A and B are shown apart, each in its own frame.
Chain A
Amino acid sequence: MNFGPLIFLAAFFGLACSWFGFVLTPQIQIGRLQQTNTVPAGAIYPVNRPGLARQGLGIYRANGCAYCHSQQVGQTGTICDVVLTDAGTNQTELLVALRKLRPALSEAEDKEMINGLPKTIRQGLTKEEAEVMVKTLNSSSAKATIWIVPVGPDISRGWGIRRTVAEDFLFDYPVMLGSQRVGPDLANVGVRLGDPNWHLLHLYAPRSQVKDSVMPPYRFLFEKRRIEHARSPDALVLPPELTPEPGYEILPKPEAGALVAYLLSLRANEPLFPAPVSVAAPPEAADTNAPAGGGTATNAPATNSPPAK
């Protein structure tokens, strides 16, 4: 029997299905992704990486950094905190409201808390619970606001404040998502570790910066040079056991500089519509003569980390 046409049709159907699922659907979904605005600040996001950082992406790729480092922060849920920003004029009423909301704490603790606003008064609520609580507090001339806090294992490790979304990688080609986590996630490494010298030393000798690091040293990104007249300002300041013999110095090659510039440009932490998170507004918010009210404004509560349980 001749099954040729049937086999062809079956194979065609199988390939067509995966093409629809893996190529066409994502293309329709995010193929025309554009720059967007942060919420609620309205800044344009993302901006293209600086030129040196874009070269650094090539170095990152060439050295296979993505084989051990991911650039994707996960999130398993979102909780709401209630932050008291303004005690208002009627403290007695506020204390009564606080008594109802936090029966476990003493009145003395409540009184002390009101002195140092803004303060997070309840953590780990759903949006509905938080709204009810804010309503109760706002009815007593005080001002409370809801603080949106993403949670998840990656976020509690300090790898980011929210999950990563497609916008974060808009200007990257190729996108270095990575799948293995031999080393830590790097989606926010520029926020976490902002010192370029730290990164240079870490690339030259990882264990000089992180004890028990399993990262191989990338010494071919550096060169040993004889000091001609004076020590170069770019030379690495190394611990004694790594310092080269007198008269020589270790200088980062341009590749190392580009790679560090790229690492410092990894900052996927802006609040976006698909990944809502409350962040402290920039301090210049106080400069505008806008009518005060209802805003978190400059009043950042102490932490943005998930509640300790």
Chain B
Amino acid sequence: MSAELSQPVTDVSEPTEGSRPVPVWLFVLLFLLLYWAMVYFDQRGAWFNEEVYAPYHSFEQVAALQPVSGPQEFIQRGKVLYGLFCAVCHMEGGTGNPANGCPNLAGSEWVSASGPGRIIRLISKGATGPIEVNGKVWSGGTMLAIGDQMPGDEKEKAENIAAIASYIRQTFGNKASLVTPEQVAAVRQEIKIKTGYYSPEELKAAPEK
């Protein structure tokens, strides 16, 4: 060590940089790392899906872990939504409100129809005009397009409308069948281009299924 230092450093011994190629193994390692990173991202990144947070790795995993939604939860969901969107006019007990021309849902033949086709249309787009419910004509009221104005994407809207329809078809003494989100989605696909409110005559013309 000391012998080296004692050597006089001359201009001649100045180090120079030769041109040496980058070793091939470095490139191989780099590409292997890159490959590993891509595989890792593909398996755990869920492709930037906004519904997937750690510790979940994929949308399917989150979807599989959702709490089971039995008919009772579905009806309960409908009850919550009814309270938010419907009870203002149709009242908590589904009695309707003569003051603003809002017909009753309890015992209504529109609600308890054999199929949910008309009630889905009604909730989705709203209705106006005198409407006859159980022989009594209600006029002066306009139902807004509650279904279209709900928050959420189309899938959530279909679920919410199905929950509301199921709730009103099974409460207030009504005993009609449950409505599934698939039924709602199918009907909403058909009436996608419909603008404005329905009239009772238009609704009567619509299929009940």
Contact = CB atoms under 8 A, between A and B. Distances in A.
Chain A contact patch, size range:
35 or more
A36 B159 CA distance: 12
A277 B68 CA distance: 10
B67 A293 contact: no
A294 B156 contact: no
Judged by DSSP, the binding face of A is: loop
A145 B48 contact: no
Contact of A278 (B67, B78, B152, B156): B67
A105 interface: no
Interface string A138-161: 000000011010001000000000
B48 to A, nearest CB: 6
A297 B72 contact: yes
Q: Is the interface of B mostly helix, strand, loop or mixed?
A: helix
A274 interface: yes
A29 B53 CA distance: 12
B152 A37 contact: yes
B146 interface: no
Given A36-B156, A37-B156, A288-B171, A277 B76 contact: no
Contact of B72 (A37, A277, A288): A288
A271 B160 CA distance: 16
Interface in A21-35: 25, 28-30, 33-35
Interface in B146-161: 151-152, 156, 159-160
B67 A148 contact: yes
Given A77-B55, A273-B51, A276-B62, A40 B69 contact: yes
Contacts of B171: 288-289
Interface of A: 25, 28-30, 33-37, 39-44, 75-78, 80, 127, 145-146, 148, 152, 163, 165-166, 271, 273-278, 281-282, 284-285, 288-297
Interface of B: 48, 50-56, 62, 64-81, 84, 151-152, 156, 159-160, 163, 167, 170-171
5 contacts: A35-B151, A40-B69, A166-B50, A285-B76, A290-B75
Top-10 shortest CB links A-B? A42-B77, A294-B70, A295-B70, A295-B72, A40-B69, A290-B75, A40-B73, A29-B50, A274-B51, A276-B65
